[in-house]
Chains A and B, each alone.
Chain A
Amino acid sequence: MVMEELLLLYACCIPVRGARRSVICDLQRAQVFPVPNSLYDLFDARGRLRLSQLRRSNTDTADRAVLEEYIGFLLREELAFLCSEAEAPRFPRLSREWLYPAVISNCIIDARHTTAHIHADLLEQLAALCCNHIQFRFFETVDRYWLEQLLDLIAQSQVKSVSLLLRAGADADSEGWPDQLLARYLKIQNLTIHGCKASQCIAWARPGQARPVWAVMEVLSALHCGVIAPHYFSPNIPAFTEALHYNSCLNRKLSIDAAGYIRNCPSMPATFGHVDDTRLADAIRQPGFQQYWTLTKDEIAVCRDCEFRYICTDCRAYLEEPDNDRSKPLKCGYDPYTATCQDWSSSLLRQATFGHYQQQTS
């Protein structure tokens, strides 16, 4: 490269500006780099930084040192590369389209004391919606042979992954059962057993993959959802492009609660018919079902000023202001105006709000 006058961000490294600071989301290597807004502002809309021009205009020694530090950082982390003005058009930006071939991307199916609402026809309806990923949450103990029959059906279906939550009890506690399940049903992506005597993670290693089994002490319910935390961040192309255009939590989601009612989200109050008398395909076309699907973080208070808005999971079930469906998630302790973070549950105000949600579901 002859005339090195531009510093160009790699197309997969996308800067996002927040109120106090910015981040560069590296969607290829799944990393997030916090950077000062002053660095963000050096780039134009196409991710180009005019190097020669900036070096000419920043003649002050201190400014120049900062500029050189920025440039060194971007090159060292391989977030940007040097190229000439003439070469720059050869590097188009990444398409912002969200590519996902499914009417429903994934589904959560809950059960408590009965599993009567989970049957072969339901799985067929999900297949017709191209839903390839299912999470089953059994809040109470489940019959071992019934569960194995269900997993046999899934083994022959188009479903690609299954996530399982089981309640500790006779079978789930029995020696080796989780092991047998993982060995026999390769589509099980992860398995959590709740209500155990102790909390621990045991990873089952097998050739080419390791599928974790978690044992947790708590007895879980739908109220445990909605936590916003850095380890839930998804700096990758599918999640980022979805968040640009859709709600990162509710878009194309479906759930069936423990009583058999069809919902967009298991933690939200609205239901759209019962599986006994409503086809899933009809339920998702009912008014209101897709109400939040296109609500992006750009339209949500506080989140719209947050630099993490396109890699973050949203939550519309538990809100900071329960009556304002465009307020920020209750279980997020990050303040983008100060760029500081505290545990969401340490706030008395938030605890009181959560108490309000607990009362609603009890």
Chain B
Amino acid sequence: MNKKKLLVQSSSTDASTNDVLDWLYYLSGGDYAVVRLNDTGYIRSVTVQMNNREQRICLATQDRELYLDELDSRWYRRGRLSLPAATFTKTDAETFALALHTRRYVDAETDVVCNFIENNLDRYTASLNRQADDGINKLDLLQLAAELGISIPDTLVTNERQALLAFGLKYPMLVTKSLGRNAFTCPLEQAGSVKLGMGTVLINAADINTLYAAAGGPLALPALYQQYVDKQLELRIFYLDGAFYPMAIFSQADARTRVDFRHYDPARPNRCVPYQLPEPVERKLDALMQHAGLTSGSVDMILTPDNDYVFLEVNPVGQFQWLARNCNYDIDRQIAAYLLNGYDDE
């Protein structure tokens, strides 16, 4: 008998993927063949055949051919489906401009094919998360949360100086963070690469005045500004198909972590313990995830000193290993069971 096939899209360094696969092997008694595609650029070629009798989609990687209709389930963890990039040599400004437009054309062509494959993965397999989840719009989610009655920080997105100044007068302390990606890596001409990160940054009236005082029209980018929310606790909540795995982070005992818990002291990490969300908060978050079409994801919230639960964001591909380990939650086992049951239900 052929083994069932699971496609996992991930990155080679993601520890959570290994943890889940360990459970998958253990629970299925090795009855599963896992095809793991890591990182970007892993598809060597793609072939789509379509006529009135049949349709076949084949992805070829370095060492194998994968027919989509042979897959039983699929887990999108991280990464992007992508084809090898066409390269252009840029010798002068003119060919550089030509290359840029050719690049856009080529990307658009490839996107159609990749999106088609993506749609078919959703169509034919029991799937946990989709690639589209990774690009989920932070503003859509904030809007949705507000509409569902979940508290959100007072939020401003603008590149208008005047609007920012007024917002800054209202709140003495603001935070700003990226709307799209948290970081990007830029390859350097000679060797190596540089990684640029855009974590959460605190700004105050003086920063805003500096921005305002700079001459010129609107600011370069419309950016996200939010009121700084005082914390009693930070909450990181893993969500899987209606179940919640919340963890409370006691970040306030240590002044160094007051903005973003990731700047922690390794010798004395913040206390991270299991937490029980109030039922009304769970109900609203569940509605949020369902409306957003997310079967799993990590939700960031703040419990304020006034006991208000404030929603910050959802990260569909966020890390959950540290959460599972600190709280002894069986998240890895539950994900593995979800992927296995997907096949049982067929």
Interface on A for B, CB 8 Å cutoff? Answer: 1, 10-12, 28-29, 78, 81, 89-97, 99, 101-103, 128, 130, 132, 158, 237, 241
Q: Which of B68-76, B108-116, B272-280 contacts A (4 or more CB under 8 A)?
A: B272-280
Q: Are A132 and B333 in contact (CB under 8 A)?
A: no
Q: Are A94 and B27 in contact (CB under 8 A)?
A: no
B208 interface residue, CB < 8 Å from A?
A: no
* With A29-B269, A97-B328 as contacts: A89 and B276 at CB distance below 8 Å: yes
Q: Are A130 and B276 in contact (CB under 8 A)?
A: no
Residues in A whose Cβ lies below 8 Å from that of B275 = 90-92
Residues in B whose Cβ lies below 8 Å from that of A99 = 328, 330, 332-333
Q: Among the listed B26, B325, B327, B328, which residue makes an inter-chain contact with A101, where contact means beta carbons less than 8 Å apart? A: B26
Complex alpha-carbon distance, A237 and B274, angstroms: 13
Residues in B whose Cβ lies below 8 Å from that of A10 = 250, 271, 273
Residues in A whose Cβ lies below 8 Å from that of B30 = 128
Of chain A, the residue at the smallest CB distance from B247 is A11
Residues in B whose Cβ lies below 8 Å from that of A89 = 276
Of chain A, the residue at the smallest CB distance from B307 is A87
Grouping DSSP codes into helix (H, G, I), strand (E, B) and loop, the B interface class, with mixed when no group exceeds half, is mixed
Residues in B whose Cβ lies below 8 Å from that of A158 = 25
4 tightest Cβ-Cβ pairs between the two chains A and B:
A101-B26, A11-B273, A101-B23, A101-B22
Q: Are B26 and A91 in contact (CB under 8 A)?
A: no
Complex alpha-carbon distance, A11 and B274, angstroms: 7
* With A12-B271, A101-B25 as contacts: A91 and B248 at CB distance below 8 Å: yes
Contact with A along B214-257 (1 / 0, CB 8 A): 00000000000000000010000000000000001010010000
Complex alpha-carbon distance, A57 and B271, angstroms: 31
B268 interface residue, CB < 8 Å from A?
A: yes
**How far apart are A81's CB and chain B's nearest CB, in angstroms?**
7
Among B27, B30, B250, B274, max chain A CB count under 10 A is at B274
Residues in A whose Cβ lies below 8 Å from that of B327 = 11, 94-95
Of chain B, the residue at the smallest CB distance from A1 is B232
Q: Are B273 and A91 in contact (CB under 8 A)?
A: yes
Q: Are B274 and A132 in contact (CB under 8 A)?
A: no
Of chain B, the residue at the smallest CB distance from A127 is B30
**How far apart are A330's CB and chain B's nearest CB, in angstroms?**
33
Q: Are A102 and B22 in contact (CB under 8 A)?
A: yes
Q: Among the listed B26, B232, B250, B328, which residue makes an inter-chain contact with A130, where contact means beta carbons less than 8 Å apart? A: B26
Residues in B whose Cβ lies below 8 Å from that of A29 = 268-269
Interface on B for A, CB 8 Å cutoff? Answer: 22-23, 25-27, 30, 232, 248, 250, 253, 268-269, 271-276, 278, 325-330, 332-333, 336
Complex alpha-carbon distance, A161 and B299, angstroms: 33
Q: Are A78 and B274 in contact (CB under 8 A)?
A: no
Q: Are B22 and A130 in contact (CB under 8 A)?
A: yes
Residues in B whose Cβ lies below 8 Å from that of A95 = 274, 327-330
Subset of 25 A-B contacts with CB under 8 Å:
A10-B250, A10-B271, A12-B272, A28-B269, A78-B250, A78-B268, A81-B271, A90-B248, A91-B274, A92-B274, A92-B275, A92-B276, A94-B327, A94-B328, A95-B328, A95-B330, A99-B328, A99-B330, A99-B332, A101-B22, A101-B23, A101-B332, A101-B333, A132-B22, A237-B328
Complex alpha-carbon distance, A102 and B19, angstroms: 11
**How far apart are B61's CB and chain A's nearest CB, in angstroms?**
17
**How far apart are B278's CB and chain A's nearest CB, in angstroms?**
8
Residues in B whose Cβ lies below 8 Å from that of A237 = 325, 328
Complex alpha-carbon distance, A1 and B252, angstroms: 13
Among A90, A102, A103, A241, max chain B CB count under 10 A is at A90
Complex alpha-carbon distance, A10 and B23, angstroms: 28
Among B26, B328, B329, max chain A CB count under 10 A is at B328
Of chain A, the residue at the smallest CB distance from B22 is A101
Complex alpha-carbon distance, A99 and B26, angstroms: 12
Of chain B, the residue at the smallest CB distance from A158 is B25
**How far apart are B336's CB and chain A's nearest CB, in angstroms?**
8
Residues in A whose Cβ lies below 8 Å from that of B333 = 99, 101
**How far apart are B285's CB and chain A's nearest CB, in angstroms?**
15
